[in-house]
Amino acid sequence: MPIRTSAFAHVRLTVTDIARSRAFYDDVFGLPVAFEVPADADDATREQLGFLYGGVIYALGDSLLGLRPVADDGFDEDRTGLDHVSFLVDTAELHAAAAMLDEKGIAHSGVKDIGAGHILEFRDPDGIALELFAPAG
């Protein structure tokens, strides 16, 4: 019998520079932080939050998006593993996002019609492929 599931609980991305990546994700997405180790955390709290590995986890609707620092080996969607992360938005938000990325000097694909909807593709500071998707209709 197959496993029955209805959604992702979380996705965690590995990044090379947590401060740089946090600045990017905070600036671009503005998601609320769900979990992080407080700067003044005691040893027990640091141990309890050890699953963060020095990173951060954001709240994203009913799911979570995490960033975890690792060695600098570069992102490549042509290797086994992550291809890209796609975020669901409405059409108005997709066009507003393109303008916002332009204002911030973040390169992107422009809004593309893919039949089933429209997408906007761009990359984070580690080159991780990100996509905004607005379904047709």
- Residue 43, domain CATH: 3.10.180.10
State pLDDT tens for residues 71-101: 677 666 677 678 899 999 999 999 999 999 9
Q: Do both 4 and 64 map to the same domain?
A: yes
Mean pLDDT (the chain) is: 92
Would you say residue 3 has pLDDT above 90?
no
Would you say residue 41 has pLDDT above 80?
yes
Say how far apart CA 123 and CA 109 lie, in whole Å: 10
Enclosing domain of residue 60: 1-71
pLDDT reported for residue 77:
65
Q: What is the CA radius of gyration of the chain?
A: 16
| Residue ending a domain, choose from 71, 95, 114 | 71
Q: Do both 53 and 88 map to the same domain?
A: no
Q: Do both 25 and 67 map to the same domain?
A: yes
Say how far apart CA 89 and CA 67 lie, in whole Å: 21
Bridge partners of 131, per DSSP, are 86, 121
Domains held by the chain: number: 2
Say how far apart CA 75 and CA 29 lie, in whole Å: 20
Would you say residue 21 has pLDDT above 90?
yes
Q: Do both 101 and 57 map to the same domain?
A: no
> Do the domain assignments include residue 76?
no
